Structure 1
């Protein structure tokens, strides 16, 4: 390309950017002037859907616009996440997603092409521990009995999760690695199938998010062995943390939920959404509904990008050690 042509091209590109700039700025300054869609990558009724709907119900008060939920299930949340990645980065299509589709799926499934850099992190909304439970078939009542039984019978017992590469699966593999125990992993197609087999005594152990496992524990249908965060969960003080024991002292993993947008969102739009999300997370009614569901609202001052990148590194260690892939 000649110098003359290159110069004309650069001038033309610059003119186009200048022409688009005011329109882009006007669009950002008037945000939001139409309904906002929050995509949830799961069918209605699950924990991510619950968080997404509670966020939508509250945040629309602070955005001054209708906020609607679009459930787009499939591929463990990845289909919904991909839609948001592909959306126009104008703030009208957002994701309320879990660590499964945001930070884990693309590490184990080569068919998932999006990366964390394809999102704009807005805020980490909430988190809850997972809980290891024992079925009646297992016949154990606490961590000491669990460890003794499993170590005495290597590879004899199994634990179930809601699927390969889910946070529940990674929690189970972290327990196995930290505790030097040998159990078989049985992946299920979602929590309902896992629940049926645990209650039916077809499998000895199961890993659940606390909000799914707690009703079973309270009803006496399963025995809680321990939760998976570093400290005992405030909402369930009677359930010990696995990390309270010597065998599992380094077990620290949870299930978290974050609001994300497509990469390239204008900073003023991100700031408006973040301000509305902060007010949502501070609202007493919102916090109570989340806590009643067994989910803890996070500190709104957490830097979502840094937090998620730290979690990605943690998951990579588990995935590599356990050789998890799809």
Structure 2
């Protein structure tokens, strides 16, 4: 147990560092040539046709929403249509493999979040998210992963859930996507609370899992707050705890797991990946455009509606940070996911 607590503390520290970096300012890209700004600084005539961005989940969830918000601005700045294509399956692996096999011509990208790193660290993915792609940079962070229950359950906080789970081990059901953030959360929650949940995979997208939760297939759902905000405000769902390191400024009434005595933290950062072999000039032009979008106050205002925020990191920093997170997750999972 000492080893587990140590590694959990390391993981919490890593996530906190990433979160503080987001609050403290964006990572600066390489300096642009003198006299040139924005996409004019890049020596390529890309794009010359429609760009497709694959979202590895069905429409309606957080990844899909953030991708579409950014796609509108990418279209405006790049001067070509940018379309979002939903390719759901295998918790994101299907879309990732499809993009890996596309021509590296800059017209097919993957937009995904850091949940995929858990698949890599646990061995569920037979490829590496950090090595099998050319990074395009990070754009968004959502720190509002929240556990909810139905109001009819009578549960008001995490302590109520723990009491119910201890009274009848294995009977409290939980919506889990194997190898994704929900899997990570359930394992750490079980370990820190000393309980056993009945984990059920009811779908990989937030929309599908929310529908299953509404239909009574599971008792507990962990999802980005924006996906269930209307239900919480209507009194149908109860926000039991948020997985941020500290209370989220726009959601001050929702307590964290940590303050309730359960050291479980999970943030989601959303980034772009190109097929390996993509021309560096294309990536540079895309990255410059991405930074412009991240600095756009109107984009920040759109994200704020979902309690998310711009979180720009250049490709090199994104790759370095995600590789470090994978290695730490491997250590944690070696002790937790047995």
- Place the TM-score, normalised by the shorter chain, in its bin: 0.7 to 0.9
- 1:82 has 2:68 as partner: no
- Give me the whole-angstrom Cα distance separating, in 1, the residues matched to 2:98 and 2:216: 39
1:141-179 CA-partner distances (Å, limit 9, x unpaired): 123333344344433422223x22221222222222233
1:175 aligns with 2:189: yes
Kept after mapping to 2: 8 A contact 1:104/1:315: yes
Provide the residue aligned with 2:73 in structure 1: 58
User: Structure 1 CA distance, aligned partners of 2:208 and 2:85?
Assistant: 24
Counterparts in 2 of 1:1-326, with a 5 A limit? 29-100=44-115, 102-108=116-122, 112-128=126-142, 129-161=144-176, 163-190=177-204, 191-192=206-207, 194-201=209-216, 203-245=218-260, 247-248=261-262, 250-300=263-313, 303-317=317-331, 319-323=333-337
Question: Retained in 2: the 8 A contact 1:122–1:261?
Answer: yes
Change (3 A) 1:125 1:206: same
**1 CA distance for matches of 2:258 and 2:234?**
25
Where structure 1 has 5 or more consecutive residues not aligned to the other structure, the ranges are 1-26
Q: Per the alignment, in what secondary structure is the counterpart of residue 236 of structure 1?
A: coil
TM-score normalised per structure 2: 0.77
- CA distance in 1: counterparts of 2:171 and 2:149, whole angstroms: 15
The number of aligned residues is 294
Relative to structure 1, is the Cα distance of residues 221 and 61 closer, same or farther in structure 2, using a 3 angstrom cutoff?
Answer: same
Name the TM-score, length of structure 1 as normaliser: 0.80
8 Å Cα contact 1:124/1:298 also seen in 2: yes
Q: Which has the larger radius of gyration?
A: 1
Match of 1:15 in 2: none
Is 1:82–1:114's contact at 8 Å kept on the other side of the alignment? no
Which secondary structure state, in structure 2, belongs to the residue aligned with residue 164 of structure 1?
A: coil
Give distance in 2, aligned partners of 1:215 and 1:308.
33
Aligned-pair Cα RMSD in Å: 2.6
Q: Give structure 2 stretches of 5+ with no counterpart.
A: 1-41
Q: What is the Cα deviation at residue 292 of structure 1?
A: 0.8
| Structure 1 residue 42: Cα displacement | 2.5
8 Å contact from structure 2 (residues 171, 197) kept in 1 = yes
Q: Is the 8 A contact 1:40 1:96 kept in 2?
A: yes
List per-residue Cα deviations over 1:232-282 (Å, max 9, x = no partner): 12221111111123x31x322123311111123333222111110011111
SS at match of 2:179: coil
Tell me by how many angstroms 1:226 deviates.
0.6
Contact map agreement 1:138 1:205 (CA 8 A) in 2: no
Q: CA deviation at 1:115?
A: 4.2
Q: Are the equivalent residues in 2 in contact too, given 1:137–1:204 (CA < 8 A)? A: no
